[in-house]
Amino acid sequence: MSTPFYVSPQQAMADRAEYARKGIARGRSVVVLQYTDGIVFVAENPSRALHKVSEIYDRIAFAAVGKYNEFENLRIGGVRYADLRGYTYDRHDVTARGLANVYAQTLGTIFSSVGEKPYEVELIVAEVGAAPEDDQIYRLPHDGSIVDEHGAVAVGGNSDQIGSYLDQRHRDGMSLAEVLKLAVDSLSRDNNGADRTLTAEQLEVAVLDRTRPQQRKFKRILGRQLSRLLEAEDASATKTDEPSDEADE
């Protein structure tokens, strides 16, 4: 009788983590940035049927990269959790922190289970507050850990390079057009640092806008509105770069 092949628990967990990370890295990136009036989500996603960014509840949105069927199941579960909790208790009891904890438990259980493969997904759960300092952004990797983020965060694809680019350029108090231009610039850089062109048709953009009078703060930015925002920031940058015709006094 042959001896069963032994793999240490540490090696098994490392192999599962590497498997999940490779699957996530194959997808296109998603970036989430804070701006003056809320939080913007920008994904490179030419599909109009398969969304990477979705609404969960009044002030809460969800973004994900990886295998669509896996993160779509998580999104649906999050919507059900939020609806049930809001109906049973109060709408204000539905928070991004509580939803992130639910997702962390689910992902952690799946990752540590030997009976199924780990989910090849990375999630972002964000909640817009009454003021910028009240905004919450949580990143959840494949293993179920929770990372509290601020300012700007990138997941999927070459997220390390994109995240570094955003950290160097993002600042508090930026307008929607400014953060949108920054997000597109970061997504346009390939693994070698070279730039490519992303059009409005290749992007999926949504915001949690704290200034909206209705209870639901989630809004998708599509078509002409998205094109106008991109063109407005390009025109502003061009105007800034042009030399002044006025003579020095």
Task: Set out the domains of the chain in order of their start, with CATH numbers.
Answer: 24-238 (3.60.20.10)
Q: Give the per-residue pLDDT at 236.
A: 55
Q: Give the per-residue pLDDT at 139.
A: 97
pLDDT at 207 over 80: yes
> What are the two backbone dihedrals, phi and then psi, of residue 65, each rounded to the nearest 5 degrees?
-130, 160
How do residues 136-169 score in pLDDT, each as one tens digit? Answer: 999 999 999 999 999 999 999 889 999 999 999 9
Select the more confidently predicted residue: 86 or 115. 86
Could you give the percent of the chain with pLDDT greater than 70? 88
Q: What is the mean pLDDT of residues 158-181?
A: 93
